[in-house]
Structure 1
Amino acid sequence: MRNIKFTLPASRCLLPVLLLVLQASCTSLQQKAQTQFNTGEYQLAIASYSKLLENEPDNSEANFYIAESYRLSNRIEKATEYYEKVNEADATFDSQYHKGKSLKGKGEYEEAKKAFEAAKTLTMDDEKIALANKEIQNIDAIADITPIWPNHELENYTLLNSSGLDYAPVLSENQLFFTSSRGAGGMYTGSGQAYTRLFKTRADGINVDVQGVQTLTEFQNESGLNQGAIAISPDGNRIVYARGNSNRKGDLPEVSLFSSTFNGSGFTQPAYMGVNGEPEYWNSTPAFSPDGETLYFASNRPGGYGGTDLYKATKMASGNYGAGVNLGPEINTPGNEMFPRPLPNGEFYFSSDGHPGFGKLDLFVYKEVDGENKVVNLGPNFNSVADDFGIFFTKYPEEGFITSNREGGKGDDDIYFFKDMTPAPKVVNVMLNVVTKTIAENGSEEILPQVRVMLYDDKNETLDGDLSSQSGRLRFSLEPNENYSIIASKTGYFAKSIPYTTVGKTPAEEDLIQDVTNITLDTTIILDQLILERAIVLENIYYDLDKADIRPDAAIELDKLVKILKDNPGIRIELSSHTDARATDAYNDDLSQRRAESAVAYIVSQGISADRLEAKGYGERQLIIENAQTEEEHQINRRTEFKVIEITE
């Protein structure tokens, strides 16, 4: 809103004063009220114009200046009825637009949209129409705002807050610094609140010594003006804060940044900073970068994008900070941006009423989302229709402070602390009991001790491993819903790898009742003896009549041999094929050789080196059943075998 003069709230960043020439001596209540408004004494102007409305409730001028006084002192939500009176008499874009802002500040979104739509009909200015459209779009976007930390909860720091203003805490070296109007003398006529001063107390994270609150000891608070929005450099040696709204003639006309540095024996008297630019500029809400080399702040200086924009200034060799540089349109809007908070991880937090939010100032973060930098609203558990601002993390992102003047507080602006209240996840311990066995001569299973068993994750990285005990047992700790592989090996036995999964073997998270649930699973690994020249029959290897092609069902069985060869890279085998005795010797020799070669070719196609394989067709020369008579007996003779012929390990 480049064409609108914004006055920022004394309750958090000190008010800029409208610099208009004082009118001549006031001889009437209306003249008195006008003078109060022109000099930025908005609370007094509200009182004076309200007296006029007692006799003239439809006085358009009085309604207008009360509405503007509320707006310029950051209480626009109280201005609705006065803008309505103005609009009844002579509606303008500005009066309808500000009525919309007032309604939005109360959370009356649909009525606010109607006011913004009405404002568009009262101007031909494309820039003003764009402002109204932006507000409508922002309201429509509220439904899509979700919490970035759903389980964070706010709580009013009741014991720390006063009945007045308490805001913008920052923590430095176990000291909590903040601004408060407690115990201050005099009233700031711009807002009707007491003047604010700087305070501190000891704190350990969000645990604050509420009994030890005292005024700042580094230097003395000044009377008759607002002091607030303090920043402490990372090394603790520099304090920057906002100071202004003086009631003394000859003082600076606006809110400005002042700096005090530690000189070895104490802090210096605060000095006006060159980063302020012209004395007429409003500058406030300072914050240091994590390395202290950059100072961020808010300013209403010309050339910005709206009411107040965020700027940064770089530290020079002299130790002072250079000229302010606008942070640009990705962060700044036609509205107000203030209270910057840069973090070491590159995230940039701030408050704004120009990005899609719930009412007045909301808390936002500018960070990378899906590979792109975006401004994101912190969500409804942090933000309200009121002002929410001044975030400070004591432990990122779990704990910290914000300030808000939402309903239900103790005073006006109150300090809130937040904590991550995500419930501790329920733990599932999965134990896998492994038993190692072999097949005895009589065909029964028997315990095989001292087997090396290794556990791998789904990326084939080693997780655990040990030898099975004398009773053939060992145990692994596994994670729920994960895939593993287990390799068992022992000299004189075929090594074996097996896949193992815990997917579907533990209760679903929503079904867990206890904080800790123990699940025990069991598996048995059987290793076969590795004996040279011992023939091992491959079951279910069938060929079509008089053919040597590998059928799909035979391929399934041969894959088992492929796995044995992969698990045991140090063996060479002979793969042999045998026929029955129902054809000539020459025919059976040729057929069995072709079948053996076909099986070897298939195994090679699965990644096994041909050097490890020999194909041998024995025809009918090694019958198991001589003089076979039945088809079952012939099938026993028609078989495929393999035997280990060399161990190179």
Structure 2
Amino acid sequence: MKKHFFWISALITLGLGSCKSLMEKGDNQFLSGQYQYAISTFSQILQEDSTNLKANQTVAESYRLSNRIEKSEPYYRQVVEQEPSFNSYFFLGQSLKAQQKNSEAKEAFEKAKGYTSDESLLARTQREIESIKLAEGIADYWPNHVLVNFKELNTTGPDFAPLVSENFFYFTSARQASGIYPATGTPYTKLFRTRAEGVRVDVGSVQALPEFRNEEGLNQAAIAISPDGNIIIYARGNSTSSKDLPDVALFASYFRGAGFTQPIWMPVNEDEFWWNSTPAFSPDGSELYFASNRPGGYGGIDIYKATKLANGDFGNAVNLGPTINTPGNELFPRPAPDGKFFFASDGHPGFGKLDLFVAEKDESGAQIIKNLGQNFNTKDDDFGIFFTEYPKAGFISSNREGGVGDDDIYFFEDKTPKPKIVNVLLNVFTKEEKADGSEAVLPQTRVVLYGADNKQQGGDFSNAQGRVRFTMAPDQDYTIIASKGGYFSKSIPYTTKGKTPDPATLVQDVTNVSLDTTIILDQLILEKAIVLDNIYYDLDKADIRPDAALELDKLVKILKDNPSIRIELSSHTDSRSSDAYNLSLSQRRAQSAVDYIVSQGIAAERLVAKGYGETQLIIKDAKTEEEHQVNRRTEFKVIEIKE
């Protein structure tokens, strides 16, 4: 951002006499802020004597003070050879850093430390060295955001600081300029607007700002418009007139009935010799953010916040503090609706000159600063972010290589690839098992789907074909519960993990995967005994073995799925011991089974333990071990259904 609008705080002196020497002429131009003119004048001296210390010093400083420090390198090199000092090595390091000559920059900063014992200067130099190291690990904040030069809008001169308000696109440009800004040798800037819808701008209808007239012979730039559209604030300064204000200041225009008022100097400037620029409103319009070089800051230019007062003015400006502000320069603030704060800085670790940053809170609530990364930032100036659709689309300004002219406007959009959608269509079939072991359709069964968070995600009655369909997500766990009057309710786990294709392999945007599962319900009949398979006990013992526990867990699940039933759990023996012994053993075994079920979370009052010994043999004259095993069984039956 060559113009920067901005770094200048000196009056313009005109009409230097032709009788003065080139050295005197160049000195006067430099001291009056006409840096580009001073560069031209001292360049004539350097053509005759390339080692002239005064000329090299002045050209180097002129480039630095007009925000073109990357061009100052050869001149600072001449200075450090002849008259090394902290400043000459420090600014040489900054020039090299701006060109991303990082190893040479670190060397220059290290040498600068040898020419001072001032703790603050040493700390600032070390910060520069550390920032170069930190910049090497910067990741893209929005890796899929893509920037495009708005070539149809940009000119060969500066175009920057875009803003959209009420379907109008406002920006700063040197088109239609009258006069040259002596500090940079570029045309003065004015404010313009055209119609827009998001990042789509009508470049054929650009006009000078119609709300009020642009002034001639000075810079007008960096417009801000209140959320209600009733206040326009912008930066104005660098006038050629010695009767004008000595520095850049914020001016405001207010909508009053038929139109906007003539802009007036804002009290928040506080002092006419302070530089104030790059304003932005908070999302609700109650605060004004801006950049200023007023005393008491942390560096060259800091960002401040002023609050809207009862009379409508903004005042009580406060510095945003050392987390955001650095010994360098921070400007172009942009508060976002989610509390994040965007800004431009050359003091935080970055890729060169001004970079775009965001301040956000970490998990502990502390504010941290992040560089937006290389898809937004370059070694040149990148600044002035504005969102048309936060955070997916908007504009920035940059004077990066490959642009149309000086500062250019770029638009950006989130180009994150749309994820391939996979829908799992699960057909749940409800059936019952008949007495002969065959299966039959069980219509009008209530089937409910629950997610892994136990929240219901769907539910319906099965149709005449016993089918219910659910739409599910890939790689998720679910529970399906089926229930019908006169039947045991049943819950089954179901997962879609491993049952769908990898989205990366898909071509279509949407892919449907059909899956089937069946739930078989058993009739719930009072006093009907149901045999529990594989419930074995060690000889003459009643302890629950691990293999028996697995089978009892199935009964636990039935009880949990059917909380309204009360059961009798019975144990039966074979006939190979006395009646009394078998009766006692079966009672102890039944009680052990009940105790185990209670230990799994089932209320004791829902269970009755009953030992029948050998009184209910299935095979009365059992001879073989297999026949005895049929008689040694554990059963349960529903004895009560609570409403």
- TM-score, normalization by structure 2: 0.98
Query: Are 1:138 and 2:138 counterparts?
Result: no
1:304-315 equivalent positions in 2, closer than 5 A: 304-315=297-308
For residues 640 and 539 of structure 2, the distance between their equivalents in structure 1, rounded to whole angstroms, comes to 33
Q: Deviations over 1:610-644 (max 9, x none)?
A: 11111111111111111211111111111111111
Counting matched residue pairs gives 641
1:381 aligns with: 375
Residue 218 of structure 1 deviates from its aligned partner by 1.0
2:6 aligns with: 14
2:63 aligned to 46, 56, 70, which one? Answer: 70
Does the aligned pair in 2 maintain the 1:580–1:623 contact within 8 Å? yes
Does the aligned pair in 2 maintain the 1:14–1:242 contact within 8 Å? no
1:476 aligns with: 470
1:557 aligns with: 551
**1:79 is paired with a residue of what secondary structure?**
helix
- The AA in structure 2 aligned to 1:92 is S
For residues 492 and 100 of structure 2, the distance between their equivalents in structure 1, rounded to whole angstroms, comes to 62
Query: Are 1:316 and 2:309 counterparts?
Result: yes
Query: Are 1:346 and 2:339 counterparts?
Result: yes
Q: Deviations over 1:145-178 (max 9, x none)?
A: 1111110000000001111000001111111111
Q: Deviations over 1:567-599 (max 9, x none)?
A: 111111111111111111111010000000110
**2:426 is paired with a residue of what secondary structure?**
strand
- The AA in structure 2 aligned to 1:85 is Q
1:44 aligns with: 37
1:491 aligns with: 485
1:250 aligns with: 243
**2:43 is paired with a residue of what secondary structure?**
helix
For residues 118 and 13 of structure 2, the distance between their equivalents in structure 1, rounded to whole angstroms, comes to 29
Does the aligned pair in 2 maintain the 1:312–1:324 contact within 8 Å? yes
2:202 aligns with: 209
In structure 2, the CA distance between the partners of 1:412 and 1:202, relative to structure 1 (3 Å rule), is same
For residues 627 and 427 of structure 1, the distance between their equivalents in structure 2, rounded to whole angstroms, comes to 65
1:438 aligned to 432, 440, 444, which one? Answer: 432
**1:322 is paired with a residue of what secondary structure?**
strand
Residue 397 of structure 1 deviates from its aligned partner by 0.5
For residues 314 and 445 of structure 2, the distance between their equivalents in structure 1, rounded to whole angstroms, comes to 70
Query: Are 1:226 and 2:181 counterparts?
Result: no
For residues 266 and 68 of structure 2, the distance between their equivalents in structure 1, rounded to whole angstroms, comes to 30
Does the aligned pair in 2 maintain the 1:285–1:298 contact within 8 Å? yes
1:468-617 equivalent positions in 2, closer than 5 A: 468-617=462-611
1:406 aligns with: 400
Residue 208 of structure 1 deviates from its aligned partner by 0.4
For residues 40 and 323 of structure 1, the distance between their equivalents in structure 2, rounded to whole angstroms, comes to 31
Residue 275 of structure 1 deviates from its aligned partner by 1.1
1:6 aligns with: none
* Structure 2 unaligned regions, length at least 5: none
Residue 512 of structure 1 deviates from its aligned partner by 2.5
In structure 2, the CA distance between the partners of 1:521 and 1:24, relative to structure 1 (3 Å rule), is closer
For residues 317 and 461 of structure 2, the distance between their equivalents in structure 1, rounded to whole angstroms, comes to 68
For residues 170 and 24 of structure 1, the distance between their equivalents in structure 2, rounded to whole angstroms, comes to 40
- TM-score, normalization by structure 1: 0.97
- The AA in structure 2 aligned to 1:436 is T
Residue 285 of structure 1 deviates from its aligned partner by 0.6
2:184 aligns with: 191
Residue 539 of structure 1 deviates from its aligned partner by 0.6
Residue 509 of structure 1 deviates from its aligned partner by 2.7
Query: Are 1:449 and 2:421 counterparts?
Result: no
For residues 602 and 366 of structure 1, the distance between their equivalents in structure 2, rounded to whole angstroms, comes to 58
Does the aligned pair in 2 maintain the 1:12–1:167 contact within 8 Å? no
Q: Deviations over 1:399-419 (max 9, x none)?
A: 000000000000100000000
2:49 aligned to 48, 51, 56, which one? Answer: 56
Residue 450 of structure 1 deviates from its aligned partner by 1.4
For residues 12 and 3 of structure 2, the distance between their equivalents in structure 1, rounded to whole angstroms, comes to 23
Q: Deviations over 1:302-356 (max 9, x none)?
A: 1111100111111111111113211111111000000011122211111000011
Does the aligned pair in 2 maintain the 1:77–1:106 contact within 8 Å? yes
2:107 aligned to 114, 133, 136, which one? Answer: 114
For residues 13 and 420 of structure 2, the distance between their equivalents in structure 1, rounded to whole angstroms, comes to 69
Does the aligned pair in 1 maintain the 2:174–2:189 contact within 8 Å? yes
1:369 aligns with: 362
In structure 2, the CA distance between the partners of 1:432 and 1:626, relative to structure 1 (3 Å rule), is same
